[in-house]
Structure 1
Amino acid sequence: MNQPEVKLGEAIQFSADLQEIFVTDAGAVYQCDKQNRLLVNFAGSVAKLKVETFLRLKKAVDSIDLSTMAVNTGRCSDYELITVFGCEKLYVLTLPEIYSFKELLGGAKFVLQLNSMLHERLFAQPA
């Protein structure tokens, strides 16, 4: 199976350098070991992030209270602006998009943690 290669501002092309981490109907997260980056493909664009920036983005998205946003009748609550230090992308998302983004980022973080735990167990040095 071909793996996508992502260049910001261009369409996704395929390369062996990327590994698929997590995919939903709304987007995908890929890992590039060559550049030590995660590529988040969501809302029609791709963000190339360091792992620390990815975790900050997830924390920012998780801090949005969806139930408060849903019951607020003001026009200012129709959208949420999301950006974090180290990410060149500014996300302007609606309530359903934020829900989908939370799902994507949460699934990707889970898979990254699982991979890390498996790697520790499989390659642990005996004491």
Structure 2
Amino acid sequence: MASQMIKGAFYNVGKKALDWVAIIQCTHVGNRLRKYGLRYEDLYDQTDSLDVDEALNRLPPEVVDARNQRIKRAMDLSMKHDYLPKELQAVQTPFRSYLQDMLELVIAERKEREALGATPLHERSLP
């Protein structure tokens, strides 16, 4: 009984410590993304994941164009060793989602196809 209470206490302390670390990490990542005007989902690589590529293909062109502009601006700022002006950094929303819902839908469709034994929606082949 006492050992279970001790384990529970350590679990609670460990969970609180992990929550604290997660908050610090999220804050740090958000600040870095704001400096370049990026959103977290802009970091998803469409050449690495076919699901991300398919989700981007299904999004409206305006959303994809805005993503591409943010990435180009961030690359330009990085090459110039510069950041966005402070007033623009203040209005950035690095954790506002635009891709996650579509990505979850694409992954669910892929898993359903695999479960049914259907042909994959997209296949990667080496040239």
Give the TM-score taking structure 2 as reference length: 0.30
Q: Hey, which of these two has a bigger chunk of strand by percent?
A: 1
Higher relative contact order (Cα pairs below 8 Å, separated by 6+ residues): 2
Bigger fraction of residues in helix:
2
TM-score, normalization by structure 1: 0.30
- Larger CA Rg, structure 1 vs 2: 2
